[in-house]
Amino acid sequence: MLRWTSHRQKVVDGKTDIDYAVDLGIRHRLVAVTVSGNKFFDSKTIRERMAIVPRSFEVRRGRYSEALAARDKSVIEDLYRSNGFP
């Protein structure tokens, strides 16, 4: 959880100095992504369309965000819809 505080320092010539202290929280690493429950497409077909990437030699911490997860969900839904699924 991102937390921050600010402290107003001084006003000189109409300019205000403000110090921010930011606590980024615990850093996480995405170490695995699994696909399960799929019957029509194999896991490789689904994974190659996903933007979320687990930790690897090429990607040290993995690549994950809520926006990427939402995009991946939409892409997988579109894949199934374009193949006749409701």
pTM for this entry: 0.63
Q: What residue spans define the domains of the chain?
A: 3-81
**Res 24: pLDDT:** 80
What are 23's strand-pairing partners?
3
Average pLDDT over residues 3-26: 76
Closest to 41 (Cα-Cα) out of 5, 4, 84? 84
Q: Is the pLDDT of residue 41 over 80?
A: yes
Cα 40 to Cα 35: distance, rounded to the nearest angstrom: 12
**Res 76: pLDDT:** 93
